[in-house]
């Protein structure tokens, strides 16, 4: 059995209070393995983004535990949690949020600069990762000079540059054409296959479903399928 990268134990989460209170996650338990590309799929509103935000250490659950590579995330102090997150988790979200005054390589280098790597070395490594994503020639362009899909790839480079153990992605290929989407997935797969690392992807993009090692299906805040098969309701997503 592969080593568990993520162990979820009875996660619950709701928003609001009183009459407007909504329970979004109803006790999610699962193990996600290192060395695998795991997809999380399900209809809009099923709780996928809420769950990956909790896994990524940016949203506290109401109850339940998240263990990442042997560390109980929400037992850490607030500062330790931030440090753990910066060192171990790379995010790729729908909004790419590049810094408009930095060029592509500098944007990709931000996590290294934040970790204290010298700027020139960090930017060089940022440019290298851009190269692996097919953007080498655009390393010096500013975000406003890049298409949406190119900006998304810069955001992906930024998430990969410090080689985090867990990469969490929310619809990473939605804005990309088929060829760019495939290239991004190839890079994510390379990353996921490194022992001791894991990639978790929320997606509706059925072009990339065949690339998953495992597909976890959610409905109304519960896991309703788990395996290599695509849940029927997502076949035509
Ligand atoms: N901060 C919040 N305050 C109140 N309700 C929220 C908040 N965040 C999420 N919700 C609600 O929780 C439910 C699940 O949302 P979530 O974004 O996790 O779903 P999702 O499966 O990721 O959907 P999508 O595929 O559309 O992104 C939705 O009903 C949403 O309205």
Q: 106-115, 197-206, 226-235: which has the highest mean pLDDT?
A: 106-115
Contact indicator for 178, 210 with CB cutoff of 8 Å: no
DSSP 211: G
Q: pLDDT, tens digit, for every residue of 144-186?
A: 999 877 888 899 899 999 989 999 999 888 877 888 788 778 8
- The mean predicted confidence, pLDDT, of the chain is 89
Percent pLDDT > 90 in the chain is 61
Q: How far is the first Cα of the chain from the last one, in angstroms, to the nearest whole number?
A: 31
Percent pLDDT > 70 in the chain is 95
pLDDT the model gives residue 139: 97
* CA 32 – ligand 1 centroid, Å: 22
47 lines ligand 1 (CB under 6 A): yes
pLDDT the model gives residue 40: 95
**CB neighbour list of residue 97: distance below 8 Å, 6 or more residues apart:** 155
Name residue 217's beta-bridge partners: 41, 225
Q: Which atom of ligand 1 is nearest to the CA of 94?
A: 27
pLDDT the model gives residue 2: 58
194 lines ligand 1 (CB under 6 A): no
96 vs 171, residue with greater confidence: 171
122-to-39, 110, 168 alpha-carbon distances in Å? 30, 8, 22
Q: Which two tokens stand for residue 91?
A: 């995010």
pLDDT the model gives residue 230: 67
Q: What is the CATH architecture assignment of 34-58+76-99+165-234?
A: 3-Layer(aba) Sandwich (3.40)
Determine the Cα–Cα distance for residues 233 and 237; give it in Å rounded to an integer.
7
Asked whether the predicted pLDDT for residue 134 surpasses 90, the reply is no
* CA 14 – ligand 1 centroid, Å: 10
pLDDT the model gives residue 218: 95
Chain-centroid distance, C-alpha 148: 18
Contact indicator for 10, 64 with CB cutoff of 8 Å: yes
pLDDT the model gives residue 120: 97
Residues making up the chain, counted from first to last: 237
Chain-centroid distance, C-alpha 83: 17
11 vs 208, residue with greater confidence: 11
pLDDT the model gives residue 47: 96
Helix ranges, 59-177 (H): 78-88, 104-114, 119-132, 148-160
Residue spans of the domains in the chain: they are 34-58+76-99+165-234
* CA 45 – ligand 1 centroid, Å: 5
* CA 199 – ligand 1 centroid, Å: 21
46 lines ligand 1 (CB under 6 A): yes
Asked whether the predicted pLDDT for residue 41 surpasses 90, the reply is yes
13 lines ligand 1 (CB under 6 A): no
Average pLDDT over residues 3-23: 93
Average pLDDT over residues 44-73: 95
Q: Which two tokens stand for residue 146?
A: 């890049």
């Amino acid at each position: 059995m592969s080593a568990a990268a993520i162990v979820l134990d009875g996660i619950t989460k709701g928003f609001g209070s009183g009459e407007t209170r909504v329970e979004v996650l109803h006790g999610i338990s699962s193990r996600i393995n290192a060395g695998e590309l795991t997809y999380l799929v399900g209809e809009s509103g099923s709780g996928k983004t809420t769950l990956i935000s909790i896994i990524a250490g940016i949203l506290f659950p109401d109850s339940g535990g998240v263990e990442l590579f042997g560390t109980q995330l929400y037992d850490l102090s607030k500062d330790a949690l931030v440090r753990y997150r910066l060192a171990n988790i790379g995010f790729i979200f729908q909004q790419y949020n590049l810094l408009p005054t930095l060029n592509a390589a500098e944007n990709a280098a931000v996590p290294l600069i934040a970790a204290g790597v010298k700027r020139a070395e960090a930017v060089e490594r940022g440019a290298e990762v851009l190269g692996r994503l097919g953007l080498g020639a655009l390393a010096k362009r500013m975000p406003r000079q890049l298409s949406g899909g190119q900006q998304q790839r810069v955001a992906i480079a930024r998430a990969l540059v410090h080689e985090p153990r867990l990469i969490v992605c929310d619809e990473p290929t939605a804005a990309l054409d088929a060829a760019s989407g495939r290239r991004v997935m190839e890079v994510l797969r390379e990353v996921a296959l490194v022992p001791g690392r894991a990639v978790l992807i929320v997606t509706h993009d059925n072009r990339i479903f065949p690339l998953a090692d495992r597909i976890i299906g959610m409905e109304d805040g519960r896991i309703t399928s788990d395996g290599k098969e695509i849940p029927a309701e997502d076949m035509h997503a």
